[in-house]
Amino acid sequence: MVEEVDMAPDQGSRQESDSVLAAGTSAPPFTLKSIPGKSYSLSDFRGKPVVLVFYPADWSPVCGDQIALYNEMLEEFAEYQAQVLGVSVDGEWCHKAFAENRSIHFPLLCDFEPKGEVSRRYGAYDRVNGMSQRALFVIDGNGMISWSYLSPIDVNPGADGIFAALDKLGIRTGDRASQQPRPTTIERERKNDGEISAS
C-alpha cells in the first residue's frame, strides 16, 4: 500500500514530473489490466467521452473519497455518455479488493508494470514517490484531450471541473438535461447530509 505524503509547498511531485498533457493534445493510447482476467483499452470507448482519473493509491483516505464520489455520480456521467476510468499503480488484486469493498462500479486500471508507464505518458507520474499523481482528463469521442487538471496530492478535486468540460462537449442527453442544471458539489453534499466530502 502506498501512503499519501503531506508535502511542504516547496517540495512535491509537481516539480519532479512533467506537466500533465494539455487540452488539444491527442490522448496516448493504452491497454491496462483492471481486475484478474479483464483489461481495457482507451480505444474501447471510441466515440464517447472518457473521464480519466489518475490517483495515488486505492486505500488512501483522499483517494477513497474521490473514487467514491465519482462512483456516486455515475448516473450524472451517463447523461453525457461518459465512461469513467480510474488509474493508479496498484495491482489487479488490490483493485479487485478495493472495488468490492467500496462497491465501485467503474473500471480501476493497473498502471503496475511497467510501473507508471501510462501515468508518465499523460504527465501524471510522481517520480519521487513512485505513484500516479492526482490528475484528471476529459477525453472526447475522437481521442483528443478536451480538459486536464493536476490537483494537489492531498486535495480531492471533486467533479465540477469535469462536468464543466463535459458541458463544453455539448452531448448531454436525457430528459434531465433540459429540465434543470446539474447540482453543484455543495448541493450534493447537502442532499447527502454531508456523508461524503466532495471538495
User: Which of 2, 63, 85, 138 is an active site residue?
Assistant: 63
Provide the grid cell at 96: 479487485
How many Å apart are CA 133 and CA 136, to the nearest integer? 9
The half-sphere exposure of 35 on its side-chain side, counting CA atoms within 13 A, is 10
Contact 159, 147 (CB under 8 A): no
Provide the grid cell at 10: 516547496
How many Å apart are CA 104 and CA 108, to the nearest integer? 9
Burial code (b: 16+ CB inside 10 Å, e: under 16) for 145-155 equals bbbbebbebee
110 is known as an active-site residue:
no
For 63, list phi and psi in degrees, rounded to 5.
-65, -45
**Which residues are catalytic, by number?**
63
